[in-house]
C-alpha cells in the first residue's frame, strides 16, 4: 500500500468533494425540472364584476385626497388631546 503525501491527499479529497457537489446539484436541478400537476383555478372572469366604474374611481380618489389633506391636522389634534 502506498502512502500519499499531504498535497496529493488534499487534491484527491477536493476532487471527491467536487464530484459529490456535482451529484447533489444534479439531483436538486432534476427535482426542479418536474412539472406542476395541480390545475390552477380559472381567474379570468372573477375580477370583472369587482371593477370600479370611472365615477367610483373618481370618488375613491377624492376621498383619499381629502383624508390625506386632513391627516396631518388630525394627527396633531390627536397628539394634543392625548397630553
| SS3 per residue for 13-61 | HHHHHHHHHHHHHHHHHHHHCCCCCCCCCCCCCCCHHHCCCHHHHHHHH
Structural domain includes residue 27: yes
The answer as to whether 15 is a domain residue is yes
Could you tell me if residue 18 is inside a domain? yes
- Domain around 1: 1-33
Give me the number of domains the chain comprises: 2
Q: Tell me the pTM.
A: 0.33
Evaluate whether residue 82 is within a structural domain: yes
Q: Is residue 5 part of a domain?
A: yes
| pLDDT grade for 35, boundaries at 50, 70 and 90 | low
Q: CA 24 to CA 31: how far, in whole Å?
A: 11
Q: Please report the pLDDT score of residue 23 as a whole number.
A: 86
Q: How confident is the model at residue 24 (pLDDT cuts 50, 70, 90)?
A: confident
Asked if 52 and 60 touch (Cβ cutoff 8 Å), the reply is: yes
DSSP secondary structure code for residue 1 in this structure: -
- Is position 43 within any domain? no
Residue 22 has pLDDT above 90, yes or no: no
- Report the pLDDT value the prediction gives residue 63, as an integer from 0 to 100: 92
Amino acid at each position: 500500500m502506498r502512502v500519499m503525501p499531504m498535497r496529493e491527499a488534499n487534491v484527491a479529497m477536493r476532487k471527491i468533494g467536487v464530484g459529490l457537489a456535482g451529484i447533489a446539484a444534479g439531483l436538486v436541478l432534476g427535482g426542479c425540472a418536474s412539472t406542476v400537476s395541480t390545475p390552477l383555478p380559472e381567474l379570468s372572469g372573477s375580477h370583472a364584476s369587482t371593477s370600479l366604474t370611472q365615477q367610483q374611481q373618481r370618488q375613491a380618489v377624492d376621498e383619499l385626497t381629502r383624508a390625506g389633506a386632513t391627516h396631518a391636522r388630525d394627527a396633531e389634534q390627536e397628539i394634543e388631546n392625548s397630553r
